[in-house]
Each structure stands twice: as structure tokens, then as C-alpha cells.
Amino acid sequence: MAEPVFLRACRGEVVDHVPVWFMRQAGRSLPEYRALRSSGSILEAITDPTVASEVTLQPVRRYGVDAAILFSDIVVPYYAIGFGVDVVPGRGPVVAEPFAHRGDLERLRDLTERDVDYVAQTIELAVGELRATNTPLIGFAGAPFTVASYLVEGGPTREFAVIKSLMHTNPALFDQLMERLTAITVDFLRLQVAHGASALQLFDSWAGALSRDEYQRFALPATRRVFDGVADLNVPTVLFGVGTGELLDLMAGSSCDVVGIDWRVDLDEGRRRVGDRATQGNLDPARCVATEAVALEATREVLRRAGTSAGHIFNLGHGVLPQSDPAVLAAVVKVVHDEGRAGVR
């Protein structure tokens, strides 16, 4: 079978249509998801391979997107090794005892396949079904800095004052933390590929809270080591963050294949900043909660600024908002497929 368009676009090849998928395409915006998950916590759904694989497949069936992404959460490996993480509805990941001292490094033991056997099973179940439509599955993990921000802050933050204080006052301990997170992340990503994932995305969602100097010193080295740790697997890799306009050139230097771009940076300018890497983005998710006309006008503007289908994957600039209308997202997919045509970059 021909290699899927999504994978070829990640490698910068000229393809006959622009591939599209949506961050958080699986989940709360879909009625079939809400029907399936009428009760129980999100971690219960993630750790049940039957539920999680079904949720992974729902948006592929509904939208005909060019890639599935594993239904999971960036804190899953840390939940799995017993660090004490929960995902609280309406708030996000919460850590009962945040990382604070050297002694906490011991709580970050290596991840084994047994810890996350449900992830392996979810991927195998999903990939089994995706074969029929030759749709690739994207595995993912949180990048070490973004994961560290949750483990150190104890939950979501707007200020990043605790993690920044740690990096600046105790860089040795911060580096040890990042080393542990890097090892766990590499093992977790390799496991996903071993069971059928054919691309990998690293979510460094909060990297945009850092200055360029901080990003280069404290976040980028670990990100680079993660990509180095999966390089021999020869699957395309995507690096994504929000508010990273100042960092795009540095992110492109991480040896990822694709750089995700949020809606704040015009895509033509974003493509200039990432140089010879492919790009993914960058429709504002807020445009998909108004009317179809509003979403499609913005979709066409993104396609226009992308310039060509070579080395671009259409996506949102951040995750699908729960209040999005699935019919609007379906219309976006249709326009990308119909109007995002081939061209030379």
C-alpha cells in the first residue's frame, strides 16, 4: 500500500493533497465520545483499551482525517509509575506531592512495558482497524519541560514561578529531573512505535512561557535527547507548543521533522522561521466554535499562507475546544482536502 499522505508530508514531500488532523480530535467535542464515557474518570477511559481504542477511532470515522492520535494524556506514564498524578475535570493534571527535592528523583523510576500495557493494547486494537483505510496512528508524549512544569508546580499554572525558580536556583537538580523525564519519555515513545504507532508528537505545550535563553538552556536539550532516542525508529516526529513564536527557529533545530505552530504566528512567517522543516497548524480553535462560514474563511486563509501542500500538515493551532460543533470540523476537513492541492514549495 502507498505510504500515507500524512507521513509523506511530515517528510516534506510533495503530496497530492494537504493532510489534516486535529489536536484533541478525540474527546469531549464528539457526542459519540460523551455517550461512551457517561461515567468514570478520564484516566479510567485511558487505561481501558476497549474504550480508549474506540475513542481513538471515533474522529477518523466521523471526519476522515489523515491520522489518528492515541487517546491518552501526557501525564499517563507518571500516573503509571505511581508518581501520584490525577487528571481533574475542568482543571487538568494535578500532583498530590509535587517534585521539590533530590529525594523526589527516586519517585521517577524507569517505565516498564507492564506499567502501561493498556497503552500497548489500545494502540494494537486501533491500528488493527486503521489498516483498512491505511490511516496512520500518531503516538505522543509530553516534552520533559512541560511535564516538569506539572510535576513541580503541582498543577496547571499561568506563572511558572515554581519551575522557573527551580531551574535558576538549582540547575543541577533541574537537570537531573529532566534526565529522568527524558529516559521515561524515550521508553514510552519507543513502546508506542513497537506496538504500531507510525509517527510521534512531542507536546511541549508550555515552552512558550520561557525566554529564548531559558528555552535553549533548560528545555531544548532534553527535547533533542528525546528525538535522538527515537531516531533509529525512523518514524516522523512533530514538536508542538503554544505561544512559541519567538522559539520556532530553535524548535526546528531539535531534529524533529515537523514544527507545530499556533495561530498567533501567520503561517507564511512561521514557515520562514522553521526553515527546511515541515510545519503543522495553525487554524485558531476559537474559529471552530462560531459558524461554519467563519471557520472556512479562516481555513482558506491558512491554506493560502501555507502556499503549497509540500511539507505542511493542516491542524489547529491548539486543541479542539469542547464546545466546537463537529459539523464545522467536518466542513474544515472537506475544504482542506478539496482545496489544499499540490504545489512546489
150 is catalytic: yes
> Is 199 or 209 the residue whose CB approaches a copy of itself more closely?
209
Q: Can you tell me which of 14, 43, 94, 286 binds a copy of itself, judged by CB under 8 A?
A: 286
118 is catalytic: no
- Cβ(115)–Cβ(80) below 8 Å: yes
Between CA 188 and CA 180 the distance in angstroms is 12
**Could you say which of 63, 78, 79, 150 is catalytic?**
150
**Could you say which of 33, 63, 66, 73 is catalytic?**
73
Q: Can you tell me which of 17, 107, 217, 264 binds a copy of itself, judged by CB under 8 A?
A: 264
24 is catalytic: yes
List Cβ<8 Å contacts ≥24 apart for 114-120: 115/77, 115/80, 115/81, 116/76, 116/77, 116/80, 116/188, 116/191, 118/46, 118/47, 118/48, 118/49, 118/52, 119/70, 119/72, 119/76, 119/188, 119/191, 119/192, 119/195, 120/191, 120/192, 120/194, 120/195
- Regarding 246 and contact with a copy of itself (CB under 8 A), the answer is yes
**Could you say which of 8, 24, 271, 277 is catalytic?**
24
- Regarding 289 and contact with a copy of itself (CB under 8 A), the answer is yes
Between CA 208 and CA 242 the distance in angstroms is 6
Tell how strand 199-203 and strand 237-240 pair up.
parallel
- Cβ(60)–Cβ(134) below 8 Å: no
249 is catalytic: no
Q: Look up residue 321 and give its amino acid.
A: L
Q: Can you tell me which of 106, 159, 276, 338 binds a copy of itself, judged by CB under 8 A?
A: 159
> Residue count at the site for a copy of itself (CB under 8 A)?
32
266 is catalytic: no
Q: Can you tell me which of 64, 208, 253, 307 binds a copy of itself, judged by CB under 8 A?
A: 208
Q: Candidates 62-70, 138-146, 161-169, 225-233 — which segment interacts with a copy of itself by CB under 8 A?
A: 161-169
Residues marked as catalytic: 24, 28, 37, 73, 150
Residues that bind a copy of itself (CB under 8 A): 159-161, 164-165, 168-169, 208-213, 243, 245-246, 263-266, 269, 284-287, 289-291, 294, 301, 321, 323
